[in-house]
Amino acid sequence: MDLLSANPLLLLFVVAGLGYVVGRIRIRGFGLGVAAVLFAGLAVGALDPRLALPEVVYQLGLVLFVYTIGLASGPGFFAGLRRRGLRDSLFALGVLGAATGAAWAAGRLLNLPAPLLAGLYAGSLTNTPALAAVLERLGGAGGTLALPAVGYSLAYPVGVLVVIGACYAFPRIWRAGVSPEGRRPAGDESDGEPPVNRGVCITRPEVTGVPVERLWRDPSLVTEDARHVVVSRLRRGGHQQIVTASTTFELGDVITLVGAPEALDRVTPRLGVPSDDRPEWDRSEIDFRRIFVSNRAVAGRRLRDLRLKERFGATVTRIKRGDVELVASAGTVLELGDRVRVVAPREQLEPLARFFGDSYRQLSEVDVPSLSLGIALGLLLGLVPLPLPGGTVLRLGFAGGPLVVALVLGLVGRTGPVVWVQPQNANLTLRQLGLVLFLAGVSTRSGYALAATLREAGGAIFLGATLVALVFSVVAFVVGYRWLRIPMPVLTGMVAGLQTQPATLAFATEQARSEHPNVGYAAVYPVAMVAKILLAQLLLNG
């Protein structure tokens, strides 16, 4: 104990190591993952009141964690507002509002202190940034800091188990598994399935002699699904060429389309018939290659602005961002770490690689000036007082300020020479590091109060967490499926996104046996993240 208390760095890495070991234990496919660091820290901190990491540890972790989440979520957050934004946002806010009301009622019925109740709410909905916002709002004072952390740690497993149970039960109660209603979320063909190649022979006279740019923009000539499809190259009379905006088709041309299978199924008949002779493509003239985007001069720019066809005679057909593969479009904004699949004349592949960067080393480097400036702006915003009705003043603080700024900067991408978005692998590393620092710092400072809190309010916390999770689940499924008619596979993903819980998403994906839950998850995750940070702080006001 003396050794650990005298060496905070040693204590930090002992807690982190123990947490990761526990997090890798899986029971029927469920594991705590990195959240187990919180439980390890509580256990270690409960041994001796001196085993508490300095306050700056969890503050630094909090800032890194929420800032990197905001950078990654910014485009999805604002895109969700533009597309089905009103419906999905109101649905998310309504469900979370009902859960917040249930938490407030549980606090009154069970006589729970407001800090403990706020932690219980964050744990029931398994949202660490919400817990972070509560702790930062409280200022980390002594025993007050312990109450939210203890409430979170006890409510977290209850929330996971109840919501996963609901994702299992409701589709069976309503017999609403993967049915024709739920096979394809309307308008999301490009999101639900990874893109594939398909050869098509042009046999429809009405699509000949029309520039591709006009053909793809006119639904009466092809279909609206064409916006989810890229045409990359064309073979005519034994010769190959890259398809540009001004290219026109002739009868007998064989083209290569790239898109989601369902979109291709609807576009193909409007152009011709599937072609089985794609293996004859000659790569000695036109070739393709995966290239990493590591050049900061390219990141944050739309594909149309790069003028690849004019400069290199090339076209980008797919973009792999993390583990997700996307169909490229003229308006797609590139990010550092993207892997673009380029089709181009063979001699242009090396110049293209130099243009995009194609450097693994650069992708691992953190842009420290950009990171520091963005976080500084977020911290300054967090200090600004926001007056509320009744004379209450709300500050976004260390959690909300950096998150709001990061959401905006993630959307902007770049400002002049400054690229705000970090390479994806650097972002993930910083996020993981920040989360570990935060969980270890908070839990060790709260552990010694755990035993006393359990004796006084352990049963009440479990009861309150169950109530919050049940209300959350019932409202989400009844409103989403019965009222809004959201297909069940998509809805289970939305429930996981509202809970911001990867374990629930993994369960929903396994149940649906498709990628449709991922569509729902991405649609509400950013809104839910921001909303829960604010709602958890409102519970502190009683």
For residues 214 and 216, what is the distance between their CA atoms, to the nearest angstrom? 5
Q: Does the residue 205 lie in any domain?
A: yes
pTM score? 0.62
Residues 150 and 6 in one domain: yes
- Cβ pair 319, 340 in contact under 8 A: yes
Q: Does the residue 63 lie in any domain?
A: no
Q: Does the residue 78 lie in any domain?
A: no
Residues 172 and 194 in one domain: no
Total number of domains in the chain? 2
Could you give the angle at which helices 424-446 and 36-45 cross, rounded to 10 degrees? 30
CATH number for the domain spanning 261: value is 3.30.70.1450
Sorted by sequence, the CB contacts under 8 Å of residue 85 that are 6+ apart come out as none
Q: Which helix (H) or strand (E) holds 93?
A: helix 85-110
Can you point out the beta strands (E) in 281-417? 286-292, 315-321, 324-327, 339-345, 385-387, 393-395, 414-415
Sorted by sequence, the CB contacts under 8 Å of residue 296 that are 6+ apart come out as 336, 367, 419
What strands, in cross-sheet order, belong to the sheet with 230-236? 239-242, 230-236, 254-259, 196-202, 272-274
- N-term to C-term CA, the chain: 38
What strands, in cross-sheet order, belong to the sheet with 324-327? 286-292, 339-345, 315-321, 324-327
In tens digits, the chain (542 residues) has pLDDT values of 888 888 888 989 999 998 888 878 877 655 666 767 877 887 888 888 788 888 888 888 878 887 887 887 777 667 656 666 678 889 999 999 999 999 999 999 999 888 989 999 998 998 877 887 788 777 654 446 678 888 887 887 788 778 888 988 898 888 875 443 333 333 333 444 567 888 889 888 888 888 888 888 777 777 666 677 888 788 887 777 888 778 888 888 888 888 878 888 888 888 888 887 554 556 667 778 888 888 878 877 888 888 888 888 888 888 887 666 777 777 778 877 788 888 888 888 888 888 988 877 766 678 889 999 999 999 998 888 877 665 656 677 776 788 789 888 988 888 888 888 887 778 888 888 887 888 788 778 767 766 666 777 778 888 999 999 999 999 999 999 999 888 898 899 899 889 877 657 767 766 776 657 766 776 787 788 878 888 988 898 76
For residues 222 and 220, what is the distance between their CA atoms, to the nearest angstrom? 6
Residues 92 and 218 in one domain: no
Residues 480 and 357 in one domain: no
Tokens linked to 487: 């297909």
Q: For position 194, what pLDDT does the model report?
A: 66
Q: Does the residue 484 lie in any domain?
A: yes
Q: Does the residue 325 lie in any domain?
A: yes
Residues 174 and 227 in one domain: no
Q: Does the residue 67 lie in any domain?
A: no
- Cα dist. 187→20, 225, 237, 260 in Å? 40, 8, 37, 12
Residues 337 and 202 in one domain: yes
Which domain does 47 fall in, by range? 2-53+84-182+395-402+441-541
Q: For position 188, what pLDDT does the model report?
A: 39
Residues 140 and 262 in one domain: no
- Cα dist. 196→191, 270, 272 in Å? 13, 18, 18
Q: Does the residue 65 lie in any domain?
A: no
Residues 225 and 167 in one domain: no
Residues 353 and 236 in one domain: yes
Q: Does the residue 269 lie in any domain?
A: yes
CA-based max dimension of the chain: 84
Residues 123 and 195 in one domain: no
10 Å Cβ neighbour count for 541? 11
Residues 220 and 273 in one domain: yes
